[in-house]
Chains A and B, each alone.
Chain A
Amino acid sequence: MTIMGYQREDGRIGIRNRVMVLFTVICAEQVANRIAWSVPDAFAVGWRDCQEKDYATRKMVRIGTHPNIGGVLVVSLGCECSDAADIGAQIAATGKPVDLLVIQEAGGTKKAIRKGIEQVRALQETAEQAPRVAMSPADLIVGVECGGSDATSGLAANPAVGVFSDRHIARGGTVIFEETNELWGCEPLLLERADTPAVADAVRQAVEVSRQWSLSTGQVALSTGNIEGGLTTIEEKSLGAFCKAGSTPIKGVLQGGEWNTPDDKGLYLLAPFYVEPNGFTGAGTISDPNGVTELAAAGAHIVIFTTGRGSVTGSGVAPVLKVTGNDDTYHRMQDNMDINAGTILTGERTLEEVGETIDEQVLAVAGGELTKAEDLEHFEFHI
């Protein structure tokens, strides 16, 4: 199957061509949202704090330069600590169409919204000029994540995604998984899967940083509730999430804060925790939308998101495909759920069959079909 992608000037190929409205402080958020809501297919993202933070700037630039993005309007109030012009220039340096709107210079809210709408329309016209090129399924970088999990996640949805991950990697594709805080305790299993001793060291380091962070924030690995729910060991709990990554070797670790895109094919671990030069260990805000944003920042074209209780989250950058292992959730929240892996537990379908369906859906989405979250314009963003 051939997918017609959008060729970007930096050589990458995208599967979407949306224009992103990027606000650089909370004071510009309302104007950015009003602009995005006024133009079909545009969406707003941004950074709220009025403080210089390299981490946020780097992440906005990584998202702005994502191959799925056709153009970027940077919306600034005009006096915030973020350097809006510099963020725009860094994105434009990759050849991406970029425009800048400064609310104070535009003459206030109404004039800024009117001007911004025109700028987004112009960016969309420019984005339409992007050459369409054939893209092999093997060129797709797919992120896998889970949220709102229940007992069905580890039994049906995550193993079915694992079947997909193995299939995609077998044809030469790339899969990124993350959630190192859920891998705490299953180092032996992870290290066994490391492709080289250097990767094993990087995995060990990534899990150790996440352990320090978890301890500093009071998280426990295997809770009383987990044990009551039938999970016996930390390895078993971790496996329930880790099995999304299938069974192939881990080829490398992508560092949070840098979000370097995988340099080869195969399976990669994204470690969202980072250590600053002063020794501070941190992470982006902990939420499902942030997890999706992290995967997109590392270059994921599509994110497969498994849920048991029923997440509604989406992204304007990387289409989010929902897989639930809970048959009730699928029927109750059919507006939000793309794939019912609950049929594995009812005995209607096998893991392999559902894994194949996930694969077919991923290729259809790469070919332009909207996911449920996209259709509902669930374009959450959380740095």
Chain B
Amino acid sequence: MRFIRVHETDNVAVALQETPPNSPITLVGGALPDDLHTRDAIPANHKVALAAIAADVPIRKHGVVVGYATQDIAPGEHVHTHNTIGIQDYQIQQGGRTS
């Protein structure tokens, strides 16, 4: 199934169609080092993890940080609001932890 990674440093790619679990991930205009399959169903235009992303590690898209993982995310997993938080919310959360 076809996915696009907007920037080469991104750790997520976007599904160009609705994709069932266990589908091979093909990047348009690019190649992946290893065979990678989806673990979850990925709706069209939603993101999939291209690498293991540990909790508190930045989610990168467009070559920049767009959020942080709230839990460990495995390659092929759906990356969305259930496992990702925005930058400002993350900063507030971190501030809350230290005070």
Residues in chain A within 8 A of chain B (CB atoms): 151, 154-156, 159, 185-189, 227, 229-230, 232-236, 239-240, 243, 247, 344-347, 349-351
Distance to closest chain B CB from A340 (angstroms): 15
- Verify B86–A235 contact, CB threshold 8 A: yes
**Bound-complex Cα distance A232 to B6 (A):** 16
With contacts A185-B86, A346-B28 known, is A233 near B4, CB below 8 A? no
Distance to closest chain B CB from A179 (angstroms): 16
Distance to closest chain A CB from B42 (angstroms): 9
Q: Spot the interface stretch: B33-41, B49-57, B63-71.
A: B63-71
User: Can you pick out 12 interface pairs between chain A and chain B where the beta carbons lie within 8 Å of each other?
Assistant: A155-B6, A187-B88, A188-B87, A232-B66, A233-B89, A235-B65, A235-B88, A236-B61, A239-B64, A240-B62, A349-B29, A350-B29
- Verify A232–B4 contact, CB threshold 8 A: no
List residues of chain A with CB within 8 A of the CB of B64. 189, 239
Question: Closest residue to B7 on the A side, CB-wise?
Answer: A159
Question: Closest residue to B66 on the A side, CB-wise?
Answer: A236
The answer to whether B85 has its CB under 8 Å from any CB of chain A is: yes
**Bound-complex Cα distance A227 to B29 (A):** 26
**Bound-complex Cα distance A235 to B84 (A):** 12
* B:60-94 near A, CB below 8 Å: 61-67, 79-81, 84-89, 91
* Max count, chain B CB within 10 A of own CB: residue among A188, A189, A235, A243: A235
**Bound-complex Cα distance A98 to B29 (A):** 53
Number of interface residues of B (CB under 8 A): 32
- Verify B4–A344 contact, CB threshold 8 A: yes
List residues of chain B with CB within 8 A of the CB of A159. 6-7, 62
- Verify B47–A345 contact, CB threshold 8 A: no
Question: Closest residue to A188 on the B side, CB-wise?
Answer: B87
- Verify A235–B66 contact, CB threshold 8 A: yes
**Bound-complex Cα distance A368 to B40 (A):** 51
- Verify B66–A239 contact, CB threshold 8 A: yes
- Verify B66–A347 contact, CB threshold 8 A: no
- Of the candidates A185, A188, A229, A247, the one whose C-beta lies within 8 Å of that of B45 is A229
With contacts A232-B84, A233-B67, A236-B67 known, is A345 near B28, CB below 8 A? yes
* Max count, chain B CB within 10 A of own CB: residue among A236, A239, A240, A347: A236
The answer to whether B25 has its CB under 8 Å from any CB of chain A is: no
Rank and list the top 8 A-B pairs by shortest CB-CB distance, nearest first: A233-B86, A230-B45, A347-B28, A230-B46, A236-B66, A151-B45, A233-B67, A235-B66
**Bound-complex Cα distance A153 to B99 (A):** 41
List residues of chain A with CB within 8 A of the CB of B46. 230
**Bound-complex Cα distance A315 to B5 (A):** 34
Distance to closest chain A CB from B46 (angstroms): 4
**Bound-complex Cα distance A240 to B47 (A):** 14
The answer to whether B24 has its CB under 8 Å from any CB of chain A is: no
